[in-house]
Amino acid sequence: MALAPYDLTGRTAFVTGAAGGIGRASAVLLAEAGATVHCADRDAGGLHGTAELVGKHGGTARTHVLDVTDRPALAKAVHSCERLDVMAAIAGIMHSSPVLETREEDLDRVLNVNFKGVLYACQEAARLMIARNTRGSIVTMASGAVDTGGPGLLCYGAAKAAVVQLTKTLATEVGGQGIRVNAIAPGWIRTPMTDRHDGEAQAHTEGVMARMSPLGRVGEPEDVAHAVLYLASDASAFTTGQILRPNGGVAMPW
């Protein structure tokens, strides 16, 4: 069957940031493709909602309420998986402040969640995959911020650039064990993270973002979830160390 490489039946995926937005859409799609999904997030209520959605789509979800910066908790949750074929390290936070007003605690907070949280997830996943001899796929979440500078994006962009470096480095280190590591750098996606204004102001922001894309629209969580499924599945079997950009064409690096 032509679509067989996308089939995740019998596989297990671990998704961080699964309580909402891109993480939730990814968990649901991976489950629809046949995977058992382990959903991790610090938002217990959101996780419950995701697990319900997975169930409605006929899938199986396990939930782990944790903070991705809590390394022992994350390690325990990952190693509770019988087997691990896919790690999607999606949890992240937004922060915006001009360089001259950025405080050390801002930088620490954003690097802790957006970089160290992804690093710990990658490390635990790769350890488990190697121990179980699984030719798995690790997907990290970078951002279009790595392609285009922007005012206020120092902490967020630095953490996402570090995620790209982690992705490329790890890809070279675990490729020999058949493990692939790729990053996704989405453009502006309509999620709770980008829902920062009320009514007209939000519509104005979305309009500005939409006009930056040759497609004339902003992204939806499902646009990114489809990229996650591609990288998680055998459809991308010859792809590693890459950055995939569901960004509506806002940036077009070589």
Cα 101 to its chain centre, rounded Å, is 28
- Dist. CA 109–CA 93, nearest whole Å: 9
Give me the 100-129 binding string for ligand NAD, x by CB under 6 A, dash otherwise. -------------x---x------------
Does 248 participate in binding ligand NAD (rule CB under 6 A)?
no
- Which uninterrupted H or E stretch holds 41? strand 36-41
DSSP 187: -
Does 188 participate in binding ligand NAD (rule CB under 6 A)?
yes
Number of residues that bind ligand NAD (CB under 6 A): 29
Active site annotation includes 6 = no
State which of residues 8, 13, 17, 232 lies at the interface with ligand NAD (CB under 6 A): 17
Q: How far is the CB of 9 from ligand NAD (least distance, A)?
A: 26
Residues 6+ apart with CB under 8 A from 56: none
Classify each residue of 15-36 as buried b or exposed e, where b means 16 or more C-beta atoms within 10 Å of its C-beta: bbbbbbbbbbbbbbbbbbbbbb
Give me the 124-163 binding string for ligand NAD, x by CB under 6 A, dash otherwise. -----------------x-xx-------------------
- Token pair for residue 177? 């064990």
Does 191 participate in binding ligand NAD (rule CB under 6 A)?
yes
Does 194 participate in binding ligand NAD (rule CB under 6 A)?
yes
Does 230 participate in binding ligand NAD (rule CB under 6 A)?
no
Spell out the alpha helix ranges (H) of the chain.
21-32, 44-56, 71-79, 104-110, 117-131, 154-174, 199-211, 221-232
Task: Please identify, using beta-carbon distances, which residue of 68 and 162 lies nearer to ligand NAD.
Answer: 68
Binding site for ligand NAD (CB under 6 A): 17, 19-23, 41-43, 46, 67-69, 90-93, 113, 117, 141, 143-144, 186, 188-189, 191-194
Active site residues: 156
